[in-house]
Structure 1
Amino acid sequence: MRITVIEHEADAGLGYLESWLGLECDVVRPYLGETVPERAADGLIVLGGAADAWDDEHSPWHPATRDLLRSAVDEGTPTLAICLGAQLMTMACGGVVGRGGNGLEVGLREVRPLPAAASDPVLSGAGTAVAIQYHQDAMTRLPEGAVPLMTGDQYPNQAYRLGEAAWAVQFHPEATPEIFTAWTSAAGLDGAEDFNAEVKAAEDRLVATWRPVAEAFAEVVRTTAPA
């Protein structure tokens, strides 16, 4: 079984997921000129990136990525959309994404489960947890039929499920401390050293929370794929 992965930039890769999923991943890098496929393999992951989800001029592969996400949701292909990926999925399926009114959400932040998370096949075990955040755009209206699963203080729409097998998360379960440090360094972020140290100190907690989530998603891929 294989997972199609859309990577938007070189420093926003699979991170922890590469070893946690236990499945082969076919990474597509459209920023290097690779073509976004019309259909995913047995599963789909769309990663994050610094671009705005609506900025098709500077990221000309976004329309094809939104089409891919829409097809995956419609066809029940197990999908995990992360940060920018979550915003692209939201737009693709009729929701709204815009510049967040509460500023940049960055660093280690608490996310909390909503009632529907208790029975969710992927996020049921996460509980109240810390997650790595790095975004200013926000999912301001979820697609019709979306089931909200997690929330937070700065931005309420932190995770949702759409259909039977598509998940969108605003935070970064895949990001290692090293990946996060690369992001803050590239941005010249004020307070970067403190943010980086906080994330590094929480590494064991991050792994303990998000590795089971990744493994649960991989299990959905295994059980959903045709025999």
Structure 2
Amino acid sequence: MASTALVVGHSKTAGLRRLGPWFNERGLDYEVRFGGDGLPDSLDGYAALIVLGGAPLPYEDDRFPWLPATRALTRQALDRHIPMLGICLGGQLLAYVGGGTVEHRKLKPEHGITPITLDAAAADDPLFSVLPQRFPMAENHVDHITALPSDAVLLAHSDRSPVQGFRLGDCAWGLQFHPEVSADNFTAWDQDDIQDVEHDGFDWNELLERNAGYDAENTRVSARFATRFADLVTER
């Protein structure tokens, strides 16, 4: 019987994208729930929690009224040592629940493929140890984790973001980058999204060209990362 992860999305179209098939290959199934449709009160029956990205800060409950429920599930995952993966907003939410700080436009924004560098602690981390010392990942954020919880372990950073990856407890990981996003995903962005990126000082055509140039490497690394997370869940 396959293990099942609860996936919390912040829009009706949110999903795991390419992570889904990679998880399935390793015996990890998943159930995507849009927070606006209601979330379970408990992680009973789930082998993992995955929280996807979204627009608000992790405490802007007026914008996304299901954030309190998402934070409660995050706390439950920490307390019960249930594996968790938080991506972008999900990672910021994990940091916030643990006592860290997340701020809006405190640092420079990141969009498109960005070089990520591992920190020393990644060598001994169950998940991040499968990654190369430097690797390309998709970014799309203007909010940053500016202070980690005191008991968190920093695992990765970029030139603009001091926190690109961290672990809280023994099996909860927060990411600022997007392993689920491929180069092709960016080509489907609408004009409003493109204008937002260009407003932040990025040339859209150059961004697409850079994404395409790193796509093969990015896909290999993302697949390795995804299958390792799935293995950590299913082998428990």
TM-score by length of 2: 0.89
- State the 1:184 CA deviation: 6.2
Report whether the alignment pairs 1:35 with 2:47: no
d(CA) in 1 for partners of 2:105 and 2:213?
28
**Which letter maps to 1:65?**
T
Equivalent of residue 155 in structure 2, options 149, 153, 156: 149
Listed as ranges, the matches of 1:152-171 within 5 Å are 152-171=158-177
| Corresponding position: 1:208 with 2:220 | yes
Residues 1:220 and 2:225 aligned together: no
* Identity of matched residues, %: 34
Q: Distance in 2 between matches of 1:183 and 1:67?
A: 32
Which AA in structure 2 matches 1:2? T
Determine whether 1:193 maps to 2:209. Answer: no
1:45-77 CA-partner distances (Å, limit 9, x unpaired)? 101112222211010001110111111011110
The normalised TM-score by structure 1 is 0.92
For 1:126 and 1:200, the matched residues in 2 are separated by 20
Matched, 1:14 2:16: yes
Residue pair 2:38, 2:66 contacting (<8 A) in 1 also: no
Residue 132 in 1 paired to residue 138 in 2?
Answer: yes
CA distance in 2, matches of 1:16, 1:130: 16
Other structure's SS at 1:121 match: coil
> Which residue identity is paired with 1:181?
T
Counterpart contact for 1:108–1:198, Cα < 8 Å: yes
Q: Which runs of 4+ in 1 moved over 6 A?
A: none
2:182/2:219 contact within 8 Å kept: no
Q: Which residue in 2 is equivalent to 1:2?
A: 4
Compared CA separation, residues 162 and 9, structure 1 to 2 (3 A): same
Q: CA deviation at 1:207?
A: 1.0
Displacement after TM superposition at 1:130 (Å): 0.8
Q: Are the aligned partners of 2:15 and 2:32 in contact in 1 as well (CA < 8 Å)? A: no
Unaligned runs of 5+ in 2: none
Secondary structure of the corresponding residue to residue 21 of structure 1: helix
- Cα distance in structure 2, aligned partners of 1:198 and 1:107: 8
Structure 1 stretches of 5 or more lacking a match?
A: none
Q: Deviations over 1:111-142 (max 9, x none)?
A: 11111101111111212101111111111111
**Letter of the 2:138 counterpart:** I
8 Å CA contact retained: 1:122, 1:216: yes
Give the deviation of 1:36 after TM superposition. Answer: 4.3
SS at match of 1:4: strand
Say yes or no: does 1:70 pair with 2:75.
yes
Out of 162, 168, 182, which is 1:176 matched to? Answer: 182
Q: In structure 2, how many angstroms separate the alpha carbons of the residues matched to 1:94 and 1:39?
A: 22
Judge conservation of contact 1:131–1:172 (CA < 8 Å) in 2.
yes
